[in-house]
């Protein structure tokens, strides 16, 4: 086996199928997207070469800048909602509270539901006339707090962030819970013998030993927040008055509604660059060391 693994030709043969798939479905589309972003085209007629004009127009596009700001709000809201709650729920289940398996399944369940289905569900919950939320507010005599949640500019982003939190907090909880379960029990047993409290065990053992996974989770949260499409599109389509517009929905609108595929490609490339910058930035800010138990 060692002889096979030391043969570079054999390694290349095994890697080649995966590399071909990666090239066809990732590298080639990215290169074509970069190429297309330098043209003014609807893909049907003649292409007009404009070089970087599409990118310059983005800087003066108020709707795109608003979408960028909304993505930023989703990033901040998702980080503040997902990380603390995922750590809290994950650690609570890890220390084996009663019914932990049941709660693990309940928290994770929303993440397996497709985004479009969740969007349609919360469309009904947030409905201003017969929605469950406003009906509940009436029931507990808080009618003054009722809103047309998805139709008012001041409430729509908050409503979306709550849905995102409900859907994905269980997913991030499972990631962190898996990291916690990889920690040897002997470390906790020794800490308990020394009289360490549950909080001390978390801060001195659990958190430092899952920090490398938290770094990966932060990348997933931020890049996911930059790419939201299905939830936003099914719930608001970017409205009202572009108050919930995000880069993915605006890219779809420019490409498939106004047929400006060059402009849409420029938005897509900006989105890609932002995701790459996030990965680079998180790796620089959160430094982890190789763990040996």
Q: Tokens 């908050």 appear where? A: 158
Strand positions, DSSP E, the chain? 39-40, 48-49
Report, in this order, helix, strand and coil percent for the chain, each rounded to 5. 75, 0, 25
Residues 87 and 217: their CA atoms lie apart, in Å, by: 11
Confidence at residue 3, expressed as pLDDT on a 0 to 100 scale: 65
| SS3 category, 114 | coil
Q: The pTM is what?
A: 0.88
Confidence at residue 270, expressed as pLDDT on a 0 to 100 scale: 94
Confidence at residue 47, expressed as pLDDT on a 0 to 100 scale: 87
The CATH architecture that domain 61-285 belongs to is Orthogonal Bundle (1.10)
Q: CB within 8 A of 150, min separation 6: which ones?
A: 123, 126, 156, 159, 235, 236, 240, 244
Angle, vertex CA 186, rays to CA 183 and CA 192, nearest 5: 105
Tokens of 232: 């936003």
Tokens of 216: 């990966």
Tokens of 97: 């509270």
Confidence at residue 8, expressed as pLDDT on a 0 to 100 scale: 76
Confidence at residue 118, expressed as pLDDT on a 0 to 100 scale: 92
Residues 113 and 203: their CA atoms lie apart, in Å, by: 33
> What is the length of the chain?
293
Compute CA distances 185 → 13, 188, 191, 293, whole Å. Answer: 41, 5, 10, 11
Confidence at residue 11, expressed as pLDDT on a 0 to 100 scale: 80
Residues 36 and 51: their CA atoms lie apart, in Å, by: 10
Per-residue pLDDT of the chain in tens (293 residues, 90 and over written 9)? 566 566 777 788 888 999 999 999 999 999 999 999 999 988 888 889 998 999 999 999 999 999 999 999 999 998 988 888 999 888 888 887 677 778 888 888 999 888 889 999 999 999 988 889 999 998 898 888 888 999 999 999 999 999 999 999 999 999 999 899 888 888 888 988 888 888 899 989 998 889 889 999 999 999 999 988 999 999 999 989 999 999 999 999 999 999 999 999 999 999 999 999 988 998 888 777 666 65
Residues 174 and 223: their CA atoms lie apart, in Å, by: 18
Domain layout of the chain by residue ranges: 61-285
């Amino acid at each position: 086996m060692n002889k096979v693994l030391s043969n570079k030709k054999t390694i290349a043969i095994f890697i080649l199928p995966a590399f071909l798939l990666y090239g066809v479905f990732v590298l080639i589309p990215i290169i074509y997207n970069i190429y297309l972003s330098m043209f003014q085209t609807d893909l049907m007629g003649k292409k007009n070469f404009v070089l970087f004009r599409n990118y310059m127009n983005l800087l003066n596009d108020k709707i795109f800048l608003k979408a960028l700001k909304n993505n930023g709000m989703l990033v901040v809201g998702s980080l503040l909602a997902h990380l603390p709650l995922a750590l809290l729920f994950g650690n609570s289940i890890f220390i084996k509270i009663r019914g932990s398996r049941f709660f693990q399944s309940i928290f994770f369940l929303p993440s397996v539901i497709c985004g479009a289905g969740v969007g349609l569900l919360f469309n009904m919950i947030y409905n201003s006339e017969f929605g469950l939320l406003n009906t509940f507010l009436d029931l507990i005599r808080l009618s003054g707090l009722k809103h047309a949640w998805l139709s008012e500019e001041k409430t729509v982003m908050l409503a979306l962030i709550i849905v995102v939190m409900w859907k994905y907090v269980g997913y991030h909880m499972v990631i962190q819970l898996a990291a916690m379960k990889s920690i040897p029990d002997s470390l906790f047993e020794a800490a308990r013998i020394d009289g360490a409290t549950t909080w001390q065990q978390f801060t001195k053992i659990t958190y430092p030993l899952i920090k490398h996974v938290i770094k990966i989770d932060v990348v997933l949260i931020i890049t996911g927040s930059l790419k939201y499409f299905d939830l936003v599109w099914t719930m608001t389509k970017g409205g009202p008055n572009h108050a919930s517009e995000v880069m993915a929905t605006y890219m779809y609108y420019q490409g498939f509604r106004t047929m400006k595929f060059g402009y849409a490609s420029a938005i897509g490339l900006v989105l890609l660059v932002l995701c790459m910058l996030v990965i680079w930035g998180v790796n620089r800010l959160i430094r982890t060391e190789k763990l040996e138990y």
